[in-house]
Structures are given as C-alpha cells and as structure tokens.
Amino acid sequence: MNNRNLCVIGLGYIGLPTAAMFAKVGWNVTGVDVNPVAVDKLNKGEIHIEEDGLEDLVKIVVEAGSLRAQLQPTEADCFIIAVPTPHHEDNTADLSYVIEATKAMVPFLKEGNTVIVESTIPPRTINDIVAPILSEAGWIPGEDIYLAHCPERVLPGRILIELVENTRIVGGINHVSAQRAAEMYRSFVTGAILITRAVSAEMSKLMENTYRDVNIALANELVKISEKLDVDALEVIQLANHHPRVNLHQPGPGVGGHCLAVDPYFIIEKAPEQSILIANSRQINNSMPKFVVNQVTKLLQDKNSKIAVFGLTYKGNIDDIRESPAMDVLSLLQMEGYKLGIYDPHVKQERVNFYLSSFEDAIADAECILILTDHSEFKQLDEEAVLNHMKNPLVFDTKNCVTISSSKINYYNFGSLANIKSPLKV
C-alpha cells in the first residue's frame, strides 16, 4: 500500500493500541481525542490507560515520530473511528460520538480515502447513519470514498497480541470498500481477514459478546437455583464440563465492560420481539449485584459492620470500570448503610469520586472481605494481616479466585451459599 497516512479518532482502550500498532509498522499516524490530558500525555510518550506492553510501544513510536496526537482531525489517506458507543437510560445505543467523529472528519476527506468504523455499533449503522453523512457531504460511499466496519475483538490485557493474531472481520459498504480496508489491516495482522458486508460485520461483533453474555447468565441462574436447592453450583459446573460437548461459563457478580454488558442491547433495540432470550439474559446478569448484596446481608446483619470491598473493575488485572457490576454492588452496599473500605490496586484515585484505601486500611476493623474482581493481587491474600486487622474475619469470594489456608478465616463463594442462609452472629 502506498498511502501510509492514518488518522485515528478516539484514543481509548481500542483506538490508542490500534494507532500505536499501525505506527509500529510504518504508518504515519495522527491520533485524535477530545481529552486534552490524553493528547498531552501521548505527545510525551505516555499513556492514560492501563494495558500490558502499551506504554513501551507508545514511547517508541512517539519518539520515532510515527505517532502524534491532537484535538482535531487532519488530512490523511485513511481514517479509523474508534470512539465509545455507550447506551442511553433506555439501553438504546448512543451514537452521538460516532456521528460527531464522522462529521468532524468530513472536512478533511479527499477522493480515494478509506474510512473505517471500529466502534461497536447496532446493525445497519454504517448503511443508515454513517454513509448518509458522507453522502450529504457530496461523497459517494463505495465509489469515491471507501467505507467499512471492522469491529475490534480483543481481550484487555492481551490487546497488543490479539490485534496482530486474531481473525479480523472487515465488512464493507461494498466489496471494494472491504478490500481497501482489509489491505490496511494486512500491514500488521497475521490472523485471517474475513471479508463480508458491513451489516454482517456489525451483527457478528454483537453476537460474539451476546453469546458470552447469555452463557454467563445461564451460569448465574444456576447459582440462584442452587442456592434455593442447597446445591454447590461451582461443583455442578465442574462436573457438567466433563461432558465433551458442554462448556458452562463461570458465574460472577454480574457482567461489565464496554462489550458484554452493552452490545446485546444493540440487538434488542433493533428487534425487541425476536430477542427474548437475549433480553432475559441481560435481566439475569443485571440482577446479580443485588443477589450478591442479599448474601452479604445474610452474613452481616449488623449494618454498622465494615466491609472491605476488593476490586472495582469489570475483570481482573485491568483498570477499566466501565459498566462494572462491582460499582453497582458498591452503590447498593452504601444504600444499606455498611461502612466500606474500598481497595483496587489497578484503579487510580482520579478515576472515582470516593476514597480508595490501601489493603491494610481497607481491612482494618472490617468483618468481611468481599471479592468482586479477580485481580492477581487477591488470589493469595496476606492471611496474617487479615487475622491481625479484621474482626471475626470472613471472605465472600464472588469470583472463586481466592485461596485461603487458615481455618480461622471463614470462606464463602458461589458454591457454598447454602452455608450462609442463616446469618452469622456478629
């Protein structure tokens, strides 16, 4: 490919790693973001998010002059839109960022440009929203401007690896658009690149995450059933998964993140009468924070008790609290009136509007450690510190990730809920 100038709009958890990866393989990349702090940090070779290996890569490509950041788009040969797509209170997609990014890009377009939307979007957004904006500006998408959707499909903590190795789906508004977009990704992607229509790419991304959401809902419903029937749900999952064609997912305090907790709604809003299973799964997973708090109130009837809440992010070893069920659990515990010590070694204080404690401060005089995220730091707790600082110490592990050796620490997880039906005396 001769055209090597790229403008990436949106420098978040996907846009920044994507921009850095293109810069690494020789593209001249301009990153655009509305956050001046993120722009300033990037131009210093620093990052504003946590991701393995990203800080070193950004430092290298910024120092090499291959990546720079600014607040406004610029002329380029190719554009990637990687802005957030949150949802409204009614759970319909908020496409305002995608629309604003597209409109901001329009003055800098020239004939032959390739425009790619990586943001997760409802089906037909490329055809019904993005393409008309380009048409209104005088372009013919698919002829003089090439338009495609290439959804990200990476795992936080492994983004730089999976950007390269994972299969990429490229959906064009027509075949030539898909081919142009695929050519871009071939500059660093070693995985297969599958070419399809834009609407199929949109739907495939949503269904990948909906599949996981539905299956987690099945595991979470099993937990609720097992609690009623005095069954060890975790043992049931382990036993059932010995079947060669069964793979039950792991339960937890809910489902979070920018994908699993949001994407299913983008399908529901387009076909509500046909997406009953998907909607019910969302309801089940959304109910889990309340279920967790109900178990806590059985353990600690005295609302003057202190709880050490461990983990705010939606998954382990990342700093992302978007749609995290842990945040919902925290709010519910506050409403119940419990005293809280909140500890998450991956979340910076400026990300939240409440006080984050150290490990020691969080457990001081607490009567329960509530594990909501499976950070590596939590898997082997300092049991001596727990015994020295806590009253009648117990651990309620909603992620089944902690190993406890001391018999003086009461341990509960989703496999032992029957044991906490009668409240402990505190």
Q: How crowded is residue 145: how many other Cβ atoms within 10 Å of its Cβ?
A: 25
Q: Give me 143's structure tokens.
A: 């002829």
Residue 81, phi-psi category: left (phi > 0), alpha (psi -120 to 50), beta (remainder): beta
Q: Say which residues have a Cβ less than 8 Å from residue 348's Cβ, sequence separation at least 6.
A: 319
Q: Is 259 one of the annotated active-site residues of the chain?
A: yes
Could you give the count of Cα atoms lying within 13 Å of 376 in the half-sphere of its Cβ?
Answer: 5
Of the residues 205, 270, 306, 399, only one is catalytic, namely 205
Of the residues 150, 259, 368, 401, only one is catalytic, namely 259
Residue position matching structure tokens 């960022």 = 97
**Side chain identity at 367, as an amino acid letter?**
E
Q: Is 205 one of the annotated active-site residues of the chain?
A: yes
Q: Give me 273's structure tokens.
A: 């009468």
Residue position matching structure tokens 């842990």 = 326
As a whole number of angstroms, the distance between CA 309 and CA 340 comes to: 7
**Helices (H), ranges, 287-321:** 288-299
- Sign, Cα dihedral of 383, 389, 393, 394: negative
One-character DSSP codes across 106-140:
GGG--TT-EEEE-S---TTHIIIIIHHHHHHTT--
As a whole number of angstroms, the distance between CA 358 and CA 353 comes to: 16
Residue 150 · residue 178 · CB < 8 Å: no
As a whole number of angstroms, the distance between CA 353 and CA 374 comes to: 22
Catalytic residues: 205, 259
